[in-house]
Structures are given as structure tokens and as C-alpha cells.
């Protein structure tokens, strides 16, 4: 049977990816350029018996998402810059309480109201450092409509597998572009569900490390009842200030993601075998970068592309390895150097890192990148 | 036989954090009697709070308990209730938690008329953080951040709830302890968003600063100012000055949110055929 093919917008594809992953709850608050995710969910969720609610603000939306996720539902919210800032306290709550959920953040210019309809890539630091305190961070940065669909499924899988909020951050261009998309059949892409307890309700502890760094999570309204708090907690979910427990729990929460970085990190290598100048890029910028690499090759420059698909955890190992064999890195991005700083940290001085930054609401075009290649090669 | 509160208290989680003379414990006992009277299954009952002394209540209760972030109880509870409408969902928290930082979620939960009962323990102050004024602190009162007397006018929380669309609103006091469970039972049985405001006391951060000599004096004040709605009908505005009405203040039947959403699902499924 021929597969279902459509011409679809990125944001719509994110919503359909969530539905494919089994999402049954959405809470959000309208904001450009992410609103289409909410609109599709409002139409599609009730058809499958799911629930959609438009909340009074983004804090409420994030809160409702975590409440719903605790009943066992796969839950989603979508937003953009200002809304992401508002959600941050509750994202931290999701991290410390270890509740799986997914946040689609379509990046627009900032800070503050910034440029609501202009593309940007300036929220990637907010994905890791936006909420206070040490916490795990997973952030995916797709570059096409097809990839936004598939990475949204992966975002749910990672959230469920590692019991933590996961962010997926298309830039406005990826969120709003329309492309051909081929839908996988049900079952074709793996869908992961959280591990539920195997012990009896009497023995159940929501943070029981006997089961490893990602303890099973029961659902409210099942045979299990338990306590959830944003205070530092013990295995049984109750607050504690005992130094050794707080230290161990904080470390475990971060470790469960960091130690599994290889499972979470996804990237694409393009023409890297003999590359001397390597572009590290993500989202729509990586499309310009691929074009630039092709152009440069025609002009005799040995260029290549390292395309980030996972932004956090960052592929530190891979960039470090590359830095030992290339002459220079170029990091084009629609912000004032966020990814560039991270890459500089990874290369440990082995190679220079040249940023190309744009925050004027215009995409970075291939010529800019080719010019930079000529300059640094 | 004495009522067995232990049936609903989580083993090993007492003593509680509340100060001697704090009214919050009286409210918790009322809630326990109400849950018992309703015969609720613990596994099917979620108790959701924000942050504050009052919001520590869920930790002591042997149910599905969710101690969220400051002000967000109504929003988390909305997620729980929407995702599992068959669960009994009860919010508890303080006046500051519910009507300052959480005011937006509170009024919108009222407006939606979602079948949740919200119990506000109104001690007129931010107890947990040491006695800063709240939106319920009377004008002129002393708080740690109103050393010259409070310039702010307070909310009437019950009126706020009625104005925002809650379909059941009641008020009691910690002095009238035996009325608390009855009000909560009636609130929970009501289909829609119900609010029970319990006036209680914070001797530690409000009483001391405002020259109350003892907890007894604070309790006696609650006794003196409370006027049951029925009795108030026969009183003149003069006589009602400085009093607060207690009992069921408002009740109205209106479509409930999760039931309305069930209809949305029906319509969507119909349209999909
Ligand atoms: C976002 C945020 N802001 C401020 C605080 C600090 N805080 C904790 S409890 C509280 C006030 C609680 O007062 P209330 O809700 O009236 O309850 P009470 O302690 O009096 O029972 C405040 C301001 C916080 N925890 N989180
Ligand atoms: S500080 Fe006030 S509100 Fe908090 S426990 Fe003590 S008496 Fe109760």
C-alpha cells in the first residue's frame, strides 16, 4: 500500500508527530509562531478521545500538562519565546519531580516580545539554563517538516524513557515552512511508553533507585498512590533536607540524561571525511549551510557540515574529535553566538571557531557562509 | 467512638510542620471527616496544593497528593481532572497562594466551572515566609512588609469566586470546626467548581504583630465576627458591620467543564465519521 503523503506545515507536522506518539493531552496558550500546533491539537485530540485545553497563561498550561502527565497521559504543550520564559518554573518542577512531557518551542526573535513573526534560534540556552537549579536538559532542533514530525515522536520517546520534560525547538522557518511529508504507518516508528511499577502498591516508591537511574512511574488514579513535591525529595517522594540524599538525588537527576548522552544525541555528518572547514549548524540555518558546503566544494574548498539534531545534551565528544583534524569551524546561527560558545568550549583550542550571527529576522543565506569559508580556509 | 483520623493520615508522616495554635490542622481534620463521610477511595482522590504552610497539607494525607509550585494548584488540578475526570480532585492552599500569585488560575478555574473543590485557608497573611501581607490582609494591619500599616485593600475571596463564576461558594471558620466538614461535603457533592474559604489564624506571624494576646483571642475573634447567612437576613447593615457571613453563600447549577468537554469529544468523533 502506498504511504500517505501530504504537503504540510512544520507546526502541523509537530502536532501530528505528537499524535503518532500517543499524546492524549494538550494544554497551551496562543502565541506566534507556534499557535498552529495548538490549533491542530484542538481539532485532532478529541477525535481520539484526548483532551485539549486552552489555559489562562503559559504557567497554567505547563502546570496542567504535568498534572495530566501524572495521571499516565502523554502530554504536550507548545509555545514561543515569551511563553517559554513563563513556563520555566514549572519546567523545573517537571525536572525535579521527573514527570515526562514535551514542550514544542518555535523560536522567534527575543528577548521579550522581540520579533513575533521573525525567525530566530535564540532560545537554545533557555532550554538548558532557563529554569533555576541543576537539572537535566534534552532539546531537539529539527531542520525540516519531516524531521519535525519524526523528532516530535522521538521527543515523547525520550521523555517517557528518561522520565523528564523534553523540548523540541524548531526555528520559525522550520515551524512555518511547508514541505512534503511522508507519514509512517502505525508501528513503523517505535513508540516508547514509560515504565510502570512492577512492585505492589505497598512497596512502591516513586523514586526507587533499586530500579536504576530512571525509576518506574505509577499513575494517579491507578492502584498506586504517592506523593509528588517540588521540594528536594527522598525515594518515597517526601521532602528531605538530608544532605547526602539531596546530593545523590540531584546527581542522579542530571546523570540519567548525561550518562545516556549517546542514546539521546543525534546528528548528521555531511562531507566530513576530508573536510578542512566544518560548519556546525542546526535548524533552517543548516539548510543554508548544506547549500554553502556544496557551493564551496565546487570552488575547491574542502567544506563539510556537522548538523545538530540534538542540541542538548551537546555532542561534545564528536566536536572535540573533529577539532583534531580540521582547520576551522564556522558556526552560523540566528542569535549572537549561543552555539558558537558551546562549540568553542568543545574544541578546547584545537581549531578556531568563526561565528556568523544574525538577529535581524532574516535567515542566514548560503553566500554569507561561503564568504566566511573563503576568509578562514 | 472517637473518629479515627489515622485512617487517612500517611503512616510515618506526622508530626506536621504547623505551629501550635495554627488553624490549618483544624481544616485538615475537617477535610478528613468530609472525605470519610463521602466514602472516597484514597486511590481515586487527588489532593493538590501550591506552596505555603497551608499547602503542606497534602503530604500528610494518604491519597494521590500533589504539592506543586506557588500559586499553581488550580492549574495542575485542572490537568489532573481533565485527563481523569473520574478522579475526585481537591485543591488546598493559603490566601496568598490562591489569590495573589495563583489568582489568575483561581478565577479561570471558577469561570470554567470544572468539577474541583478548592479549599482556601485564609489566615490573612503569608505565614510560611514570615508574615508579609497578602491580598487578604486587612487595610491598616501590620505585616513584615507593612511596618507602617497595610495601605492595600483586601479581597473578599468568596465574592471574588462568585464574581469569577464559581457555582458553589461557602465560608466557615476554624473556630466553627464541626461545620467545616459539612461545608466541604456539600461543596464536593456540588457538580462544578466549588470554593470553601475557611478563615483561620496564624498566631506566629500575624497574631504577634497585630497585638493579639493569644491564640484564644484570635479564635474568639473568628467566633465573634462570623454570622450565618440565615441569621444575617434578619440583621441591619449597621449590625452586620465588621461581620463576615458564613455557611453556603452561593449555589447555582451550570454546565460542568469536563462534561462539556465530553460533548466536544462526541462532536469531534461524529465529525470524523
Ligand atoms: C514563585 C514563588 N514566589 C515566592 C515564593 C515564596 N513563598 C513561599 S510560601 C509564600 C506565601 C504563602 O502564603 P499563603 O499562601 O497565604 O499560605 P500560609 O503560609 O499563610 O499558609 C511565599 C510568598 C515561592 N515559594 N515561590
Ligand atoms: S507560620 Fe502561621 S500559617 Fe505557618 S504554620 Fe505557623 S501559624 Fe500556621
Going from N- to C-terminal start, the domains of chain A cover 5-182, 209-262, 267-376
CA–CA dist B38, A181 (Å, integer)? 53
Residue from B55, B79, B113 to probe the interface with A (highest A Cβ count within 10 Å): B79
- Cβ separation A238–B13 shorter than 8 A: yes
Domain boundary assignment for chain B: 16-272
* Chain B interface includes A70 (CB < 8 A): yes
CA–CA dist A149, A135 (Å, integer)? 26
- Cβ separation A53–B78 shorter than 8 A: yes
Whether A5 and A180 have beta carbons less than 8 Å apart is answered as yes
Q: Which of residues 102-131 of B touch A (CB under 8 A)?
A: 104-105, 107-108
Helix axes A338-347, A316-323, angle to 10 degrees: 60
Nearest residue to B88 via CA among B5, B172, B185: B185
B142 lines ligand 1 (CB under 6 A): no
Q: Which of residues 223-252 of A touch B (CB under 8 A)?
A: 223-231, 238-239
**Residue whose grid cell is 510515618:** B12
Q: Where are the beta strands (DSSP E) in chain B?
A: 45-49, 64-67, 88-94, 117-122, 125-126, 132-133, 168-173, 194-199, 226-228, 244-251
Q: What is the pLDDT of residue B105?
A: 98
Q: pLDDT tens digits, residue range B22-66?
A: 999 999 999 999 999 999 999 999 999 999 999 999 999 999 999
Cell of A201: 502498591
> Angle at the Cα of B264 (from B260 to B266), degrees rounded to 5?
110
CA–CA dist B95, B52 (Å, integer)? 9
Please check the confidence at residue A2 and state whether its pLDDT lies above 90.
no
CA–CA dist A78, A83 (Å, integer)? 9
In terms of Cβ atoms closer than 10 Å to its own Cβ (0-12, 13-18, 19+), residue A112 is: exposed
In angstroms, how far is CA A278 from the centroid of its own chain?
A: 23
Nearest residue to A133 via CA among A274, A286, A272, A251: A251
- Cβ separation B83–A224 shorter than 8 A: no
Ligand 1 atom with the shortest distance to the CA of B54:
21
B215 lines ligand 2 (CB under 6 A): no
Query: How far from B149 is each of A253, A332, B96, B133, B139, CA to CA, in Å?
Result: 45, 57, 18, 10, 7
CA–CA dist A115, A109 (Å, integer)? 5
Q: Provide the β-strand partners of residue A53.
A: A27
Query: How far from A100 is each of A70, A158, B69, B268, CA to CA, in Å?
Result: 8, 8, 17, 27
**Could you tell which of B19, B92, B97 is best to mutate to test the pocket of ligand 1, judged by most ligand atoms within 8 Å of the CB?**
B97
Q: pLDDT tens digits, residue range A3-41?
A: 899 999 999 999 999 999 999 999 999 999 999 999 999
CA–CA dist A298, A326 (Å, integer)? 19
Nearest residue to B83 via CA among A94, A42, A60, A68: A68
**Domain A5-182 CATH (choose: 3.90.1150.10, 3.90.1010.10, 3.60.21.10, 3.40.50.970):** 3.40.50.970
Which residues have CB under 8 Å from A361's CB, separation 6+? A109, A115, A117, A118, A119, A120
B218 lines ligand 2 (CB under 6 A): no
Residue B163, Cβ neighbours under 10 Å: how many?
13
Ligand 2 atom with the shortest distance to the CA of B206:
2
Q: What is the pLDDT of residue B271?
A: 86
DSSP A212-234: -SS-----TTSS---EEESS-B-
**Strand B117-122 vs strand B88-94: parallel, antiparallel, or unpaired?**
parallel
Q: pLDDT tens digits, residue range A218-253?
A: 999 999 999 999 999 999 999 999 999 999 999 999
Which residues have CB under 8 Å from B163's CB, separation 6+? none
Residues of B in contact with A236 (CB under 8 A): none
Record: fold of A267-376 = Rossmann fold (3.40.50)
Residue from A25, A43, A48, A56 to probe the interface with B (highest B Cβ count within 10 Å): A56
Query: How far from A6 is each of A12, A13, A145, A146, A190, CA to CA, in Å?
Result: 11, 10, 11, 10, 21
Share of chain A above pLDDT 70, in %: 100
* pLDDT grade for A1, boundaries at 50, 70 and 90: low
Nearest residue to B110 via CA among B211, B193, B48: B193
Whether A154 and A115 have beta carbons less than 8 Å apart is answered as no
Q: Between A43, A56, A75, which is nearest B104 by CB? A: A56
Q: Which of residues 186-205 of B touch A (CB under 8 A)?
A: none
B129 lines ligand 1 (CB under 6 A): yes
Task: Tell me B77's DSSP state.
Answer: H
Rounded to the nearest angstrom, the minimum Cα separation between B158 and chain A is 21
**Residue whose grid cell is 490566601:** B95
Residues of chain B with pLDDT under 50: none
Smallest-distance ligand from the CA of B121: 1
Which residues have CB under 8 Å from A147's CB, separation 6+? A309
Give me ligand 1 centre to Cα B126, in Å.
Answer: 6
Query: How far from B132 is each of A149, B103, B146, CA to CA, in Å?
Result: 49, 17, 7
Whether B149 and B140 have beta carbons less than 8 Å apart is answered as yes
Residues of A in contact with B59 (CB under 8 A): 227, 229, 238-239
Which residues have CB under 8 Å from B226's CB, separation 6+? B173, B175, B176, B199, B243, B244, B246
The C-alpha R_g of chain B, in whole angstroms, comes to 19
**Residue whose grid cell is 498552529:** A36
By alpha-carbon position, which residue is closest to atom 24 of ligand 1?
Answer: B70
CA–CA dist B84, A22 (Å, integer)? 16
By alpha-carbon position, which residue is closest to atom 2 of ligand 2?
Answer: B202
First to last CA, chain A: 50
**Strand B168-173 vs strand B244-251: parallel, antiparallel, or unpaired?**
antiparallel
Q: Do domains A5-182 and A267-376 have the same CATH topology?
A: yes
Q: What is the pLDDT of residue A12?
A: 98
CATH superfamily of B16-272: Thiamin diphosphate (ThDP)-binding fold, Pyr/PP domains (3.40.50.970)
Helix (H, G, I), strand (E, B) or coil at B89: strand
Q: Between A51, A220, A238, which is nearest B82 by CB? A: A51
- Cβ separation A68–B80 shorter than 8 A: yes
CA–CA dist B3, B26 (Å, integer)? 14
By alpha-carbon position, which residue is closest to atom 8 of ligand 2?
Answer: B22
Amino acid at each position: 500500500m502506498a504511504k500517505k503523503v501530504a504537503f504540510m506545515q512544520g507546526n502541523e507536522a509537530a502536532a501530528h508527530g505528537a499524535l503518532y506518539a500517543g499524546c492524549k493531552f494538550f494544554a497551551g496558550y496562543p502565541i506566534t509562531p507556534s499557535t498552529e500546533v495548538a490549533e491542530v491539537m484542538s481539532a485532532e485530540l478529541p477525535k481520539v478521545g484526548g483532551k485539549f485545553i486552552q489555559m489562562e497563561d503559559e504557567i497554567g498550561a505547563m502546570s496542567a500538562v504535568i498534572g495530566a502527565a501524572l495521571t499516565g497521559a502523554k502530554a504536550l504543550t507548545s509555545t514561543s519565546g515569551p511563553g517559554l520564559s513563563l513556563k520555566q518554573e514549572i519546567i523545573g518542577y517537571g525536572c525535579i519531580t521527573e514527570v515526562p512531557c514535551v514542550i514544542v518551542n518555535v523560536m522567534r526573535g527575543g528577548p521579550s516580545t522581540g520579533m513575533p513573526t521573525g525567525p530566530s534560534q535564540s532560545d537554545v540556552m533557555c532550554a538548558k539554563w532557563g529554569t533555576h537549579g541543576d537539572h537535566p536538559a534534552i532539546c531537539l532542533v529539527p531542520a525540516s517538516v519531516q524531521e519535525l514530525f519524526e523528532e516530535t515522536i522521538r521527543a515523547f520517546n525520550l521523555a517517557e524513557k528518561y522520565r523528564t520534560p523534553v523540548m523540541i525547538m524548531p526555528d520559525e522557518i522550520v515551524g512555518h515552512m511547508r514541505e512534503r511529508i511522508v507519514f509512517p504507518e502505525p508501528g513503523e516508528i517505535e513508540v516508547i511508553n514509560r515504565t510502570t511499577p512492577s512492585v505492589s502498591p505497598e512497596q512502591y516508591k516513586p523514586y526507587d533507585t533499586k530500579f536504576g537511574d530512571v525509576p518506574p512511574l505509577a499513575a494517579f488514579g491507578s492502584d498506586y498512590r504517592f506523593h509528588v513535591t517540588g521540594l528536594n525529595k527522598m525515594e518515597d517522594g517526601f521532602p528531605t533536607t538530608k544532605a547526602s540524599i539531596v546530593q545523590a538525588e540531584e546527581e542522579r537527576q542530571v546523570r540519567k540524561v548525561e550518562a545516556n548522552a549517546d542514546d539521546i544525541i543525534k546528528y548528521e555528518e555531511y562531507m566530513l571525511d576530508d573536510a578542512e572547514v566544518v560548519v556546525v549548524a542546526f535548524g533552517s540555518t543548516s539548510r543554508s549551510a548544506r547549500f554553502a558546503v556544496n557551493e564551496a566544494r565546487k570552488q575547491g574548498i574542502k567544506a563539510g557540515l556537522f548538523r545538530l539534531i540534538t542540541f542538548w545534551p551537546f555532542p561534545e565528544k564528536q566536536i572535540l574529535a573533529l577539532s583534531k583534524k580540521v582547520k576551522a569551524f564556522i558556526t552560523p546561527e540566528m542569535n549572537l553566538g549561543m552555539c558558537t560558545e558551546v562549540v568553542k568550549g568543545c574544541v578546547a583550542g584545537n581549531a578556531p571557531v568563526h561565528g556568523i550571527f544574525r538577529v535581524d529576522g532574516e535567515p542566514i543565506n548560503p553566500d554569507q557562509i561561503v564568504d566566511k569559508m573563503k576568509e578562514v580556509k | 467512638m472517637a473518629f479515627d483520623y489515622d485512617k487517612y493520615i500517611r503512616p510515618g508522616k506526622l508530626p506536621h510542620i504547623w505551629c501550635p495554635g495554627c488553624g490549618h490542622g483544624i481544616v485538615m481534620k475537617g477535610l478528613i471527616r468530609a472525605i470519610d463521610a463521602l466514602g472516597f477511595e484514597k486511590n481515586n482522590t487527588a489532593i493538590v496544593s501550591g506552596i505555603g504552610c497551608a499547602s503542606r497539607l497534602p503530604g500528610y494525607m494518604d491519597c494521590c497528593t500533589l504539592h506543586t509550585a506557588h500559586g499553581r494548584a488550580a492549574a495542575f488540578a485542572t490537568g489532573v481532572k481533565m485527563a481523569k475526570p473520574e478522579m475526585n480532585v481537591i485543591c488546598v492552599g493559603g490566601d496568598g497562594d490562591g489569590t495573589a500569585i495563583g489568582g489568575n488560575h483561581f478565577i479561570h478555574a471558577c469561570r470554567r466551572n470544572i468539577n474541583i473543590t478548592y479549599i482556601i485557608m485564609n489566615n490573612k497573611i503569608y505565614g510560611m515566609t514570615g508574615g508579609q501581607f497578602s491580598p487578604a490582609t486587612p487595610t491598616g494591619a501590620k505585616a513584615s512588609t507593612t511596618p507602617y500599616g497595610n495601605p492595600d485593600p483586601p479581597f473578599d475571596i468568596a465574592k471574588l469566586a462568585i464574581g469569577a463564576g464559581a457555582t458553589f461558594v461557602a465560608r466557615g471558620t476554624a473556630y466553627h470546626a464541626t461545620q467545616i466538614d459539612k461545608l466541604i461535603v456539600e461543596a464536593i457533592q456540588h457538580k462544578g467548581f466549588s470554593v470553601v474559604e475557611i478563615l483561620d489564624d496564624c498566631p506566629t506571624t500575624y497574631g504577634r504583630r497585630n497585638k493579639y494576646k493569644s491564640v484564644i483571642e484570635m479564635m474568639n475573634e473568628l467566633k465573634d465576627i462570623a454570622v450565618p447567612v440565615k441569621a444575617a437576613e434578619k440583621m441591619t447593615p449597621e449590625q452586620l458591620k465588621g461581620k463576615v457571613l458564613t455557611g453556603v453563600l452561593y449555589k447555582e447549577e451550570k454546565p460542568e467543564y469536563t462534561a462539556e468537554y465530553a460533548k466536544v469529544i462526541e462532536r469531534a468523533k461524529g465529525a470524523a465519521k
